[in-house]
């Protein structure tokens, strides 16, 4: 490990070790460290690929008594790492980011089942993971690290003959109440009607946004309006309305109310828009 002059130094040792390490095969999954992903997801993925997650197999190897059945059944003729290597070599970096995030959420769903006896449906897991990645990347970068779901950044007029209903919720934790704002405009962008609705009690943000949409639909129904595009800046709620995840939760009950009210409209659709496009409805 001497240098060109035959003298051993820390630098010469480092160069020798670095040269040897370059001959070693670098695991394919280390590429994930360069991806634009939340640190906790990168850490999860490192633990997953290095066999460091506290799975039942891993715990049994340490003589910890755990059930011998899989909490989330999975069977494949290939190993997980073989499948993952295929994903890394055939998919774009954007697609790989999404798949890694879904894997993280599957692990989270597995823990929910074990510790809280809560079973999360597969569609909910996928939608939650993609929404989480979308919202995180929106905050942490101005580039496009993933294929972002289409969302308006500025308010746009609805098609001719339709109305656009923007809704939003505000939570006041100190006074233990909330407020909802609704604004209705036509295809020319002209103001039609607006409403501000106070609400006693405090709910979770996603529940508050869902309640806001439900109450807005009741309001427009009472005014006998139809042919409406409902626009919200909460993507999780919009996806929850459009896709029936069959969750045993209070949020699912609100989604059911919204779908029931929506069925009484002739023409009604739900859209997601970034907060910058929904400012007019901020309660």
Give 18's pLDDT tier (boundaries 50, 70, 90).
low
d(CA 229, CA 279): 16
The more confidently predicted of residues 12 and 268 is 268
- Quote the distance between the C-alpha of residue 165 and its chain's center: 24
Q: What is the pLDDT of residue 118?
A: 83
Closest CA to 226 of 194, 187, 191, 267: 267
Q: What is the pLDDT of residue 245?
A: 61
Closest CA to 36 of 180, 172, 134: 134
- Quick one: average pLDDT of 229-245? 84
Task: Give pLDDT tens digits for 110-155.
Answer: 888 888 888 888 877 887 888 788 778 767 765 444 444 455 568 8
Which H or E run contains 47? helix 39-49
Task: Give pLDDT tens digits for 34-86.
Answer: 999 999 999 999 999 988 888 777 777 777 776 666 555 555 556 788 889 99
34 in helix, strand or coil? helix
Residue extent(s) of CATH 3.30.420.10 domains in the chain: 163-281
SS (H, E, C) 121-142: CHHHHHHHHHHHHHHHHHHHCC
Question: Is 163-281 a domain of CATH 3.30.420.10?
Answer: yes
**Cβ atoms 237, 208 nearer than 8 A:** no
- Quick one: average pLDDT of 8-24? 69
Please, what is the average pLDDT of the chain?
83
Q: What is the pLDDT of residue 160?
A: 92
SS (H, E, C) 198-265: EEECCCCHHHHHHHHHHHHHHHHHHCCCCCEEEEECCHHHHHHHHCCCCCCCHHHHHHHHHHHHHCCC
Residue 267 has pLDDT above 80, yes or no: yes
Task: Give pLDDT tens digits for 150-206.
Answer: 555 688 899 999 999 999 999 998 899 999 999 999 999 999 999 999 999 999 888
What single DSSP character describes residue 25? P
Can you say whether residue 93 is alpha, beta or left, with left for phi > 0 and alpha for psi between -120 and 50 degrees?
alpha
């Amino acid at each position: 490990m001497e240098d060109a002059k035959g003298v051993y130094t820390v630098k010469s040792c480092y160069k020798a070790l670095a040269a040897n390490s370059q001959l070693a095969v670098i695991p394919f999954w280390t590429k994930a460290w360069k991806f634009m992903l939340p640190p906790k997801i990168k850490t999860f993925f490192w633990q997953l690929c290095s066999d460091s997650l506290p799975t039942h197999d891993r715990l049994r190897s340490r003589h910890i008594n755990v059930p011998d059945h899989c909490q989330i059944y999975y069977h494949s003729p290939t190993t997980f790492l073989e499948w993952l290597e295929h994903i890394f070599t055939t998919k774009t970096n954007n697609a790989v980011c999404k798949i890694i995030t879904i894997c993280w959420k599957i692990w989270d769903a597995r823990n929910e089942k074990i510790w809280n006896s809560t079973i999360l449906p597969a569609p909910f897991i996928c939608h939650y993971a993609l929404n989480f990645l979308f919202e995180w990347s929106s905050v942490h970068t101005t580039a496009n690290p993933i294929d972002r779901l289409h969302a308006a950044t500025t308010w746009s007029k609805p098609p001719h003959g339709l109305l656009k209903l923007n809704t939003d919720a505000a939570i006041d934790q100190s006074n233990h109440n909330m407020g909802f704002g609704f604004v209705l405009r036509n295809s020319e962008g002209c103001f039609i009607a607006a409403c501000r609705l106070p609400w006693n009690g405090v709910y979770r943000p996603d529940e508050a946004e869902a309640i806001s949409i439900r109450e807005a639909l009741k309001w427009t129904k009472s005014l006998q309006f139809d042919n409406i595009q409902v626009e919200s800046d909460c993507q999780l709620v919009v996806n929850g309305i459009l896709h029936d995840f069959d969750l045993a939760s209070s949020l699912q009950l609100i989604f059911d109310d919204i779908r029931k009210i929506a069925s009484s409209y002739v023409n009604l659709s739900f859209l997601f828009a970034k907060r910058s496009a929904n400012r007019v409805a901020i309660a």
